Amino acid sequence: MSDSGNKAAIGLIGLGTMGSALALNIADNGYKIAVTNRTVSRVSEFINDAGELSEYLIGCDDIESFVASLQTPRAIIVMVPAGKPFDDQIEALKPYLDEGDTLIDAGNTNFHDTRRRDAELAADGFRFVGMGVSGGEEGARFGPSIMVGGPEESFKPIEPIINAIAAKYEGDPCAAHLGPDGAGHFVKTVHNGIEYADMQLIAEVWGILRDGQGKSAAEVGALFDRWNEGELKSYLVEITGKALGATDEATGKPVVDIILDRAGQKGTGRWTVIEALGLGQSASTIEAAVGARSWSAAKDVREAGAEILAVQPEGGPQVSEEDLADALLAARILAYAQGFDILTAASETYGWDLDMARVAEIWRAGCIIRSALLDDISAAFRGELPKGRLILAPAFAKRLVNGSAALRRVVASAAMNGQATPAFSAALAYFDTMRTARGTTDLVQAQRDFFGAHGFERVDQEGGGFHGPWALSAEDMNVSR
């Protein structure tokens, strides 16, 4: 980059939670960064709060001075809400930019938008990078996992900065250029989908222990603390232990007990499910988690249902903590596996050539789903993977077979005791389906052929288009001629 003198190596627009943290991270790594924000007062506030790092920051009150303070060709991170705010921001910037400048979308953008913008901005002579950033505020400040999509030549000039600010796993930056156009944002979306599933599974464990076994938040928190020492070691298990152990100052109660059981969602989980279905996949554990959040929103219906639909379940034995740990591990593996199946399908459909092992590697630190499993997942993808499926990799098949009995006991016990475990149930159904060589869609095919003459394949002959010995009559169709 030229004009290096007093000019900034990179710029950032949007000093919200993530933008502020990313800007400080970049400054912390010794890069001069220009910043600006829609609400101008936020700029000086940010610079004042930055302490010693302010020497690496150039605060700008308007777009013109912001663009002028950047080395050319310019690289600009835009960290504003996805969708229209991002498009509006790009339009406001364009008149001040030159051909060859790079715009970086670091928000949670739908990858279809990224693909569209990639084409539009390339036609305008600009370079574009769609970059998924995971790790929340702390990750953005001290080292996120960064999933990059876009033309490789757009990423090259900013690669040193991105590698510097990314989380490190044993020295390896958790950042990678994964493919063209929307590849980075798609991988980030699926990352979030897996995150939804893992969070829901953990919440179901909490429900079983609280409602089925009368355990307190502190007791369950301590259990998660212990689990975080073993195979379940992960960021989400770690923060679950801490969250369950926290006390509400105002009431003296566990914080979790004073939180309304109504979950929010911003879209990435839902997008994962929509894209999975569009790609002919079914990420059932992720779908269950997204659905559980939607059901949770209907608090009034659930309160009415608690009376109107009251039943006394038959009951059954409660499961052990060991079973819960084994079931959680097995279901977590199945959720990751479904996520990677979506990535495989998308990679083929969009021609991204995603390196799955590398995806697993850059999730090992910095991101929300970082866990002890990811090393093994990357090793599995680097080795022989039967049918390209993680569940069939020897290391995971063994764990699934071993954990399946516990998973089955957890789901059965919850069902008998009337506790909802949508994600565990979905995980078990997927496991059982994928180990059933001859399923029941023979009958679905017969039904389809019966009413719609859709034809079927036979087990004993090549080709398709066979029909059953049924001739449709008015009586069959329940209509009168």
Ligand X SMILES: NC(=O)c1ccc[n+]([C@@H]2O[C@H](COP(=O)([O-])OP(=O)(O)OC[C@H]3O[C@@H](n4cnc5c(N)ncnc54)[C@H](OP(=O)(O)O)[C@@H]3O)[C@@H](O)[C@H]2O)c1
> In the complex with ligand X, which residue's Cβ is closer, 108 or 344?
108
Residues flagged as binding site: 14-19, 37-39, 80-82, 108, 134-136, 191-192, 196, 266, 293, 448, 454
Contact characters 254-293, ligand X, x per CB under 6 A: ----------------------------------------
Q: Is 60 in a helix, a strand, or coil?
A: coil
Q: C-beta of 191: minimal distance to ligand X in Å?
A: 10
Which residues inside 334-363 make contact with ligand X, applying CB under 6 A?
none
CA distance 54 to 47: 6
Question: Exactly one of 69, 71, 89, 145 binds ligand X (CB under 6 A); which one?
Answer: 89
CA distance 272 to 278: 10
193 CB-contact burial (10 Å; exposed 0-12 / middle 13-18 / buried 19+): buried
Q: C-beta of 194: minimal distance to ligand X in Å?
A: 14
Contacts of 453 (CB under 8 A, 6+ apart): 467
3-state per-residue secondary structure call for 353-380: CCCHHHHHHHCCCCCCCCECHHHHHHHH
Nearest C-alpha neighbor of 114 from the set 65, 181, 177: 181
400 near ligand X (CB under 6 A): no
> In the complex with ligand X, which residue's Cβ is closer, 71 or 108?
108
Q: How many residues bind ligand X (CB under 6 A)?
A: 22
> In the complex with ligand X, which residue's Cβ is closer, 268 or 371?
268
Contact characters 48-87, ligand X, x per CB under 6 A: -------------------------------xxxx--x--
189 near ligand X (CB under 6 A): no
Cross-strand bridge partners of residue 241: none
Q: C-beta of 241: minimal distance to ligand X in Å?
A: 20
Q: C-beta of 462: minimal distance to ligand X in Å?
A: 50
Q: Which two tokens stand for residue 105?
A: 């979308």
Nearest C-alpha neighbor of 364 from the set 225, 168, 133, 188: 168
C-beta separation of 403 from 330 below 8 A: yes
> In the complex with ligand X, which residue's Cβ is closer, 82 or 327?
82
Task: Report CA dihedral (413, 371, 246, 294) to the nearest 10 degrees.
Answer: -60
For Cα atoms 290, 259, 138, give the angle at the middle one, nearest 5 degrees.
70
Residues flagged as binding site for NADP(+): 14-19, 37-39, 80-82, 108
> In the complex with ligand X, which residue's Cβ is closer, 132 or 291?
132
Nearest C-alpha neighbor of 196 from the set 261, 144, 253, 263: 263
Question: Exactly one of 49, 64, 88, 124 binds ligand X (CB under 6 A); which one?
Answer: 88
> In the complex with ligand X, which residue's Cβ is closer, 14 or 254?
14
Q: C-beta of 34: minimal distance to ligand X in Å?
A: 15
14 near ligand X (CB under 6 A): yes
CA distances to 6, 30, 173, 205, 331 from 53, rounded to whole Å, are 15, 9, 23, 43, 44
Question: Exactly one of 37, 154, 228, 417 binds ligand X (CB under 6 A); which one?
Answer: 37
> In the complex with ligand X, which residue's Cβ is closer, 18 or 410?
18
CA distances to 12, 126, 210, 250, 309 from 258, rounded to whole Å, are 38, 50, 14, 10, 25
Nearest C-alpha neighbor of 400 from the set 357, 363, 434, 375: 434
Would you name the residues annotated as active-site residues? 188, 195
Torsion sign over Cα 53, 58, 61, 66: negative
C-beta separation of 467 from 461 below 8 A: no
> In the complex with ligand X, which residue's Cβ is closer, 92 or 446?
92
Question: Exactly one of 1, 28, 31, 38 binds ligand X (CB under 6 A); which one?
Answer: 38
Q: Is 133 in a helix, a strand, or coil?
A: strand
CA distance 32 to 16: 19
Q: C-beta of 372: minimal distance to ligand X in Å?
A: 23
Question: Exactly one of 8, 15, 35, 365 binds ligand X (CB under 6 A); which one?
Answer: 15
23 near ligand X (CB under 6 A): no
Contact characters 98-117, ligand X, x per CB under 6 A: ---------xx---------
Nearest C-alpha neighbor of 77 from the set 7, 148, 29, 136: 148
The residue number with the shortest CB distance to ligand X is: 16
Question: Exactly one of 1, 16, 142, 415 binds ligand X (CB under 6 A); which one?
Answer: 16
39 near ligand X (CB under 6 A): yes
> In the complex with ligand X, which residue's Cβ is closer, 222 or 263?
263
Using the CB atoms, write b or e for 198-234: b if 16+ within 10 Å: bbbbbbbbbbbbbebeebebeebbebbbebbeebbeb
Residues flagged as binding site for substrate: 108, 134-136, 191-192, 196, 266, 293, 448, 454
C-beta separation of 270 from 309 below 8 A: no
374 near ligand X (CB under 6 A): no
Q: C-beta of 94: minimal distance to ligand X in Å?
A: 14
133 near ligand X (CB under 6 A): yes
C-beta separation of 420 from 311 below 8 A: no
Q: C-beta of 17: minimal distance to ligand X in Å?
A: 4
Q: C-beta of 145: minimal distance to ligand X in Å?
A: 10
Query: Which residues make up the interface to ligand X (CB under 6 A)?
Result: 14-19, 37-39, 42, 79-82, 85, 88-89, 107-108, 133, 136-137
